[in-house]
Amino acid sequence: MTGKRVLVVGGGVVGLCVAYWCAHKGHRVVIVERGAPEREGCSFANAGLVVPSHFVPLASPGIVQLGLRWMWSPESPFHVEPRLSADLLDWGWKVWRAATREHVERAAPVLRDLHLASRACFQEWAARWDNAFEFVDKGLLALCRTERGLEEEAQVAGFARRLGVAADVLSAAQVAAIEPSLRMSIAGGVYFPRDAHLTPSRLMNALQRETQRMGVQMRHHTDVRGWRVDGDRVGAVHTSAGPVEADEFVLCGGIWSAGLGRQLGLRLPMQAGKGYSLTLASPPALPGVCALLSEARVAMTPMGGALRFGGTMEITDIDERINPARIRGIVKSVGRYFPDLTPSHFANASVRTGLRPCSPDGLPYVGRFGRFANLSAATGHAMLGVSLGPITGKLIAEILSDERPSCAIAALSPDRYAERERSLERAA
Binding site for ligand FAD (CB under 6 A): 9-15, 32-35, 41-43, 45-49, 223-224, 252-254, 256, 260, 275-277, 299, 310, 354, 356-357, 379, 381-387
Measured from the CB atom, the residue of 42 and 111 that comes closer to ligand FAD is 42
Q: How far is the CB of 65 from ligand FAD (least distance, A)?
A: 24
The minimum distance between CB 289 and ligand FAD, in angstroms, equals: 14
- Which CB atom, from 374 or from 379, has the smaller least distance to ligand FAD? 379
Nearer to ligand FAD, 149 or 357 (CB): 357
Contact present, 168 and 109 (Cβ < 8 Å): no
Rounded to the nearest 10 degrees, the angle between the axes of helix 385-400 and helix 13-24 is: 30
> Rounded to the nearest whole angstrom, what is the least distance from the CB of residue 147 to ligand FAD in the complex?
27
Under a CB-based contact definition with an 8 Å cutoff, are residues 206 and 179 in contact?
Answer: no
Q: Quick one: 55 or 256, whose CB is closer to ligand FAD?
A: 256
By DSSP bridging, strand 217-219 and strand 28-32 are parallel
State the nearest-atom distance from the C-beta of 182 to ligand FAD, in Å: 19
What distance in Å separates the CA atoms of residue 426 and residue 152, rounded to the nearest whole number?
41
Q: Which of the 8 DSSP states describes residue 344?
A: G
Residues 6+ apart with CB under 8 A from 370: 415, 418
Give the start-end residues of each E strand in 47-194.
49-50, 78-80, 140-144, 168-171, 188-192
- Which residues, listed in sequence order, are joined to residue 155 by a DSSP beta bridge? none
According to DSSP, the residues that pair with 236 across neighbouring strands are 228, 245
DSSP lists the bridge partners of residue 142 as 190, 292
Contact 189, 177 (CB under 8 A): no
Our CB check for ligand FAD shows the closer of 176 and 407 to be 407
Q: Give the strands of the sheet with 5-9, arranged side by side.
A: 217-219, 28-32, 5-9, 248-251, 375-379, 365-368
- For the bound state, the minimum distance from the C-beta of residue 387 to ligand FAD, rounded and expressed in Å, comes to 4
Going by the DSSP 8-state scheme, the letter that residue 408 receives in this structure is: -
- Cβ-based nearer residue to ligand FAD, 292 or 418: 292
How many CB atoms sit inside 10 A of residue 75's CB?
Answer: 18
Least Å distance between CB 231 and ligand FAD?
A: 24
Would the CA dihedral through 199, 203, 206, 208 be positive or negative? negative
CB of 200 to ligand FAD, least distance (A): 7
Which residue, 132 or 255, is less far from ligand FAD as judged by CB? Answer: 255
Could you tell me the smallest distance in angstroms from the CB atom of residue 41 to ligand FAD? 5
The least CB distance from residue 401 to ligand FAD, in Å, is 21
Strand 28-32 relative to strand 78-80, pairing:
unpaired
Nearer to ligand FAD, 50 or 144 (CB): 50
